[in-house]
Structure 1
Amino acid sequence: MTSPEASQSSPSGFRILVDLTLRYPRLLGVIILLGFLSSLVSAPTPYLGKIIIDDLIFRGGAAAGHEVSGWLGISHTVWMMTGIVALGVFLKVVGSLLGGWQCHYILQITRNSLYDVRLNTALRLMGARQEKLERLEAGRIASRIGFDVNQMDGAIFSILRNFLSSVFLVIVVVGFMVFINPWLTLVVLATMPVTAILSMVSYSKLREFSREESDRVADLTATTAETFGALKVIRVFASEGFFLSRLQKRCEALRYEGLYHWTRFHALNLLLTLLSSLGGDIFLLVGGILAIKGEITFGSFFAFYGYQAMLWGPIGTLLNAGQIMQTGTASAEKVRTMALLEQEPYLNNARPKPSQAFQGEIIAENLTFAYNAGEPIIRDLSFRIAPGSMVALVGQSGSGKTTLANLLLGMYLPTGGKLYIDGTDIRDWDLQALRAHMGVVLQDAMLFNDTLRTNLCMGREHPDERIWAALAGAHLDTFVRGLPKGLDEHAGIGGTRLSGGQKQRIAIARVFLKNPKLLILDEATSALDSETEKAIQRSFDALMAGRTSVVIAHRLSTIYQADQILVLHQGRLVESGTHEELVSRPAGHYRELYEAQVEGMIPMSGATRRSWTEPRH
């Protein structure tokens, strides 16, 4: 995966939207041309009315028409009026067609650019540092890529369609008004400065509200996804009321923001519309007086009235477009924060590919890791795992076993010390290349709402023979063959159509199918019954032969055969050795863990109770 480095300075939301449109300069040029032509051909209609009134009605055009024989008994004047009206209709049709073409090209820009935004945001999230991603709720990410990008869509469309078309129409209409009577034009536009100042104040407030509303929507989306994703647990604990109250609080916050801010905005918007339309009322008074005095013709009065009516339409559209743009710019800034997440170091700087075949040697030297500064989870670990050996990580919950496994996977990078894999510091590895050699089975098997084949192959192509062999290794082939669609059966959302043990075996089959050089198993058989665990363990034994294997286990039955056992306590390596060596130490941590289990706490997993002095067979 490659990803461009995001700029560390975050541009304004409006600049982000403008940059998206500028990615398609040719389409933008066509859109601007069509918008101008559409406005140009739509504007002459009132002026055509002036010609009919002044030249055909009030200047004797009708009387002159009776002196000449009319075609089909209709005077020339009527034919002229018909022609002028037909010209007006034709111009409107042409304007509508031009507007339709303009919308088509605008949609090409919006859909293509926002496709790029969604894809780039997903790409940046895929490459983000794991510790950064873990602080984000999945529902919040979904809200940014879904809701906020849709808001950006509306804003870009508003800029290219409503804003540009309205600006062009205002320019053309004002041009006709100045041509007819410059002084009356100033009268009509008298309220514009006040309207412009109030609009700027209104939109600065609206941008802040839009940011807050975007956050409230993200909160609601995240809470909804979390609640209904865990509905089974909620029902088991009869906690529907509590979790509905959480949803209610999120809905209430969104409702309050909407009522409070949108009421204020719409009240101000109505005031802006009123101020804008006052220019038309002033014209009716002043223009009517001038027409009565004969200082302007009635045709000019009619045309001017039509143009000032045309003027308020696009001005109102500009006010609404400003509202949509402020909402879109706020959403663009929210989406941008996702793209600015710190990336995995190997994505920023290319790493050389290892020249030798992967062996799986692991060396830690004073390895330290802390999620928060001054609070280390892993402290000064030093050990060596030989290629092809099996190592068990043992310790109480919270001792750092899973964190160490995440460090081996490159999910986290050390905050102190060194971690070498095949002699290369993990900070210098291309982590995708490293993970290509790794296979992982975790306690919680994650399945996707797709076919079993997709869940097994994880984006790679494998022949059916290999897939069935992997399923056989996980003792799941008989079950899958019995399904109506076999490998093409859907697993359901999160694997809900499978039992816990079946989901675990799908995860195990993935590893068999990948055939990795380094295995990391985190209680890989924890969800299986005793007999199935024994059978799969035999398959694992065959798979682990000659491969480096790191096994995280609480149960002694899974670690008896380890070549080396690393005992962790409060993030430190307190003991290491084989099972026999460790249980022979009278006051060791491992012996305490062992005795605690053999005194009656061994789970029903196939392990047999025995004295610590009994030799291993």
Structure 2
Amino acid sequence: MERASTTDGFKVLAVAIRREPWIFTLSTVGSALFGALTVADAWVLGWSTDHVILPAFRTGHIGPGWLVAVVALFVAVAIGRAVGVVARRLGAGVMQYRMQAHYRRAVTRQYLRLPLAWHQAHPTGQLLSNANADVEAAWAPIAPLPMAVGTIAMMVIAVAQMFLADVVLACLGMLVFPAVIVTNLAYQRRASPLITRAQQLRAELSEVAHESFDGALVVKTLGREGEETERFAAKARELRDTNIRAGRIRAAFDPTLAALPDIGVLVVLAVGVVRVLHGHAAAGDVVQVGYLLTIVAFPIRSLGWVLGEFPRSVVGFRRVQHVLDATGGLAYGDARLPGTAPGDATRGARLEVDAVAFAYEPQQPLLRDVSFEVGPGRTVAIVGPTASGKSTLTTLMARLVDADDGSISVDGVDLRDLAPGALAEAVAMVPQTAFLFDDTVRGNVTLGGAYADDEVWAALRAAQADGFVAALPRGLDTRLGERGTSLSGGQRQRISLARALVRRPRLLILDDATSAVDPEVEQRILAALRGATGGTGEGATLVVVAYRKATIALADEVVHLDGGRIVARGTHEELLRSSPRYAELVNAYETETDHETGPARSEADR
């Protein structure tokens, strides 16, 4: 397990200082002012004793001028220290929160840039932890940093006065510093592995919770609440125990660090008494060195606060940096698709798939030499058995990932040459699993886009969703709940379809996006999409991953995919006559669909 060293901790802090130099300077100056004036308290006290208090005892009288001077000095020092505290804490807080905000934005931008394959290889809980807990941990030492740096001024002044008073006693007092270093190294060695494990467990715990919430329906219907609770509890107990072990080490480290200066004071006083008895030192010098060593204790403690955060900080920074250093983002060109002006939005796009090959694992190709064309305004159905590569092909056409070989073009432009956002202006994809946000119907359809309600209702009508939306308590303003749990599966699919239609795409890709809708409603939806009753507009191109025979029959052409290759192309009727494998497949699907749906299909999907 990789350890976090003190050097690594200072490197992390250097990143923050380089990014926020002025805020760091402000907070450090404030801390230095506080430290210098804390030492100045001793001078003010001594000056007041020599010039005001002792003469008053001798004469029995205090002059008003001297009294005002003493009060003014103490007030000035107090005000200066207050200003230093405000500057130190304000600067440290601003610096810490700005660094957290910057890295959260950087991690989020990286998540958006990285391809879908990268996200599929990393658990959701880990991604949440990287953007939240790890970022917070990385910059936790910033809060005590300005105090630790600023109080070095206090320490330098105090140490200098110690050596001026008595070199021998000062050298004894300085032994505190190597003791602090040794203590910190021991702490780092023991605490770093535990803190690393704790950060990983936080991500794993988030992943278990995320899976449990997402799979609540499965968990409850199969009566697995107890097992799922125990799975979460086991991770929670392991995280608890790891944090407790780390906390025990920290609990020993903090008081040890606090006790070292006090031990140094006792050693100085013990040796100082011997030196006074032998006439090698004055009693006042011993007291002065002892007092100054107590002043040095505060900078040592503040350094200890920074050092104590280093293991967690380094671990968090490494985990965040792992995300920021990830490679594999999609490359873009600067081309735009022709005919994407608003007036051309109803013209269908030409899709060309040329010798496409793709594999998730190098030795297990999923698509091989796939080639076909879809003319503008035509409808093509992609049919094939499970695991034949249909859904993967749709993700390639929507450029969620890039093909390993071959190319996919829209209107003669390779998708890899398009500028960022250019493909979304003309192409929309509706996946099989409909995802809805905890928002209103309007918000789920528009996703923040500037669409009028008339456009939203038109998209809902094309998706055959206007009826049940109008019956909702607040119509378009009805909140759908997290993931649209207040709707049926078919209703969620139709809202998801309307989300694509409102953008009036010239190429619409449906990955079995109507599987939860009853066949009659599906027929009306596809008829609308083909322009018979409105929809995306006459001439829009449609690619459908389909299973039902009636749906496939509506397509102008069928592409039969099997084993990652195209084994047949033609109309539905032609393939039924010429391809026994195709006929067997679609007839099997039809039988299974009839068996599953039956005559009592839910009214909510009609």
Do both proteins adopt the same fold according to a TM-score greater than 0.5, normalized to the shorter chain? yes
Tell me, yes or no, if the aligned pair for 2:510 and 2:545 is still in contact at 8 Å. yes
Secondary structure of 2:422's aligned partner: helix
Question: How far off its partner does 1:577 sit?
Answer: 0.8
Alpha-carbon contact 2:437-2:482 (below 8 Å) kept: yes
> Residue 194 of structure 2 corresponds to which residue in structure 1?
209
Bigger shift: residues 503-512 or 84-93: 84-93
Question: Aligned equivalents of 1:559 and 1:159: distance in 2?
Answer: 67
2:319 is paired with a residue whose SS is helix
The equivalent residue for 1:473 is: 462
Q: 1:445 touches 1:504 (CA, 8 Å); kept in 2? A: yes
Q: What is the correspondence of 1:135-174 to structure 2 with a 5 Å cutoff?
A: 135-160=121-146, 162-174=147-159
Report the alpha carbon displacement of residue 449 of structure 1 after superposing the two structures with TM: 1.6
1:57-76 → structure 2 map (5 Å cutoff): 61-66=55-60, 70=61, 75-76=62-63
Residue 330 of structure 2 contacts residue 402 of structure 2 at CA under 8 Å; is this kept in 1? no
CA distance in 2, matches of 1:488, 1:296: 85
- Aligned residue number for residue 296 of structure 2: 311
Amino acid of the residue matched to residue 129 of structure 2?
A: S
Q: Hey, what does 1:114 align to over in structure 2?
A: 100
Structure 2 partner of 1:379:
368
**Is the CA contact (8 Å cut-off) linking 1:208 and 1:330 kept in structure 2?**
no
Find the counterpart in structure 1 of residue 334 from structure 2: 351
* Residues 530 and 539 in structure 2, CA contact (< 8 A), matched pair in contact too: no
CA-to-aligned-CA distance 1:90-142 (integer Å, 9 cap, x gap): 41342133211221122222222221111111011011011001112222211
Classify 1:178/1:48 alpha carbon distance in 2 versus 1 (closer, same or farther; 3 Å). Answer: farther
Query: For residue 55 of structure 2, what is the amino acid of its counterpart?
Result: G
Question: Which residue does 1:575 correspond to in 2?
Answer: 568
Conserved? CA contact 1:13–1:333, under 8 Å: no
1:476-518 deviation per Cα after TM superposition (whole angstroms, max 9, x unaligned): 3344344444323322111122232221221121122111000
Letter aligned with residue 421 of structure 2 = Q
Which amino acid in the other structure matches residue 528 of structure 2? Answer: S
The 3-state SS of whatever aligns with 1:411 is coil
CA distance in 1, matches of 2:550, 2:451: 33
In structure 2, runs of 5+ residues without a counterpart are 1-6, 341-346, 600-606
Aligned partner of 2:440 in structure 1 is 451
Structure 1 CA distance, aligned partners of 2:594 and 2:470? 35
1:411 maps to 400
| Contact 2:173 2:264 (C-alpha < 8 Å) held by counterparts | yes
Cα shift at 1:22: 2.2
SS of structure 2 residue aligned to 1:559: helix
Check if 1:327 corresponds to 2:323. Answer: no
**Deviation of the 1:519 alpha carbon:** 0.7
Question: Does 2:17 match 1:21?
Answer: yes
Q: Match for residue 26 of structure 2?
A: 30
CA distance in 1, matches of 2:515, 2:9: 49
SS in 2 for 1:346: coil
Aligned-residue offset at 1:169 = 2.7
Partner AA of 1:194 in structure 2 = A
**Distance across 2 between alignment mates of 1:306 and 1:498:** 73
Amino acid at match of 2:540: R
> Which is further off, 440-449 or 78-87?
78-87
- Relative distance call for 1:220 and 1:166 in structure 2 (3 A) is farther
Contact persistence 1:124–1:343 (CA under 8 A): no
| Further displaced range: 125-134 or 553-562 | 553-562
1:263-282 alignment, distance < 5 Å = 263-282=248-267
Mapping of residues 429-508 of structure 1, within 5 Å: 429-430=418-419, 432-508=421-497
Counterpart of 2:544 (choices 548, 551, 576) is: 551
Q: CA deviation at 1:598?
A: 5.1
Alpha-carbon spacing, 1:180–1:530, altered in 2? closer, same or farther (3 Å) = same
Amino acid at match of 1:522: D
2:238 to 244, 253, 266: 253
- Between the aligned partners of 1:485 and 1:511, the Cα distance in structure 2 is 22
2:515 aligned with 1:526 = yes
* Percentage of identical aligned residues: 26
**In structure 2, which of residues 169, 178, 192 is the aligned counterpart of residue 184 of structure 1?**
169
- Name the SS for the 2:509 alignment partner: strand
CA positional deviation for 1:469: 1.9
- The secondary structure found in structure 2 opposite 1:382 is strand
Check if 1:589 corresponds to 2:572.
no
- Counterpart amino acid of residue 498 in structure 1: L
Alpha carbons of structure 1 residues 145 and 80: separation in structure 2 relative to 1, 3 Å? same
Aligned-partner Cα distance in 1 for 2:157–2:479 = 60
Q: Displacement of 1:404 after TM fit?
A: 0.5
Structure 1 match to 2:183: 198
How far the C-alpha of 1:184 sits from its partner, in A, is 2.3
Tell me, what secondary structure is at the counterpart of 2:530?
helix
Contact 1:17 1:329 in 2 (8 A): no
Q: Which residue of 1 aligns with 2:344?
A: none
Contact 1:158 1:324 in 2 (8 A): no
Q: CA deviation at 1:153?
A: 3.6
Q: How does 1:363-378 map to 2 (within 5 A)?
A: 363-378=352-367
Provide the rounded CA distance (Å) in 1 between the counterparts of 2:270 and 2:75.
30
1:392–1:137 CA distance, 2 compared to 1 (3 A): same
Q: What code does the residue aligned with 2:513 have?
A: A
* CA spacing shift, 1:147–1:599, aligned 2, 3 Å: closer
Q: Secondary structure at the match of 1:584?
A: helix
Q: TM-score, with normalisation over the residues of structure 2?
A: 0.88
Residue deviations 1:574-612, cap 9 Å, x none? 111111110112x532111133245565357799xxxxx
Secondary structure in structure 2 of the residue aligned to 1:243: helix
Q: 1:5 corresponds to which residue?
A: none
* Uncovered stretches (5+) of structure 1, i.e. residues with no partner: 1-10, 608-617
Pairwise CA distance, 1:270: 4.3
Equivalents in 2 of 1:550, 1:398: separation in Å? 18
CA spacing shift, 1:84–1:284, aligned 2, 3 Å? farther
Residue 351 of structure 2 corresponds to 362
Contact 2:432 2:512 (8 Å CA) reproduced: yes
Q: Structure 1: how far apart are the matches of 2:168 and 2:69?
A: 31
Partner of 2:111: 125
Partner of 2:604: none
Q: Give the 3 Å change call, closer, same or farther, for CA 363–474 of structure 1 in structure 2.
A: closer
Q: Taking structure 1 as reference, are residues 391 and 222 closer, same or farther at Cα in structure 2, changes over 3 Å only?
A: same
Q: Give the letter aligned to residue 227 of structure 2.
A: F
**Cα distance between partner residues in 2 of 1:315 and 1:486:** 64
Distance 2:456 2:13 in 1: 46
C-alpha change, 1:333 and 1:458, in structure 2 (3 Å) is same
**RMSD (Å) for aligned C-alpha atoms:** 2.9
- Corresponding position: 1:560 with 2:553: yes
Q: Which residue is equivalent to 2:221?
A: 236
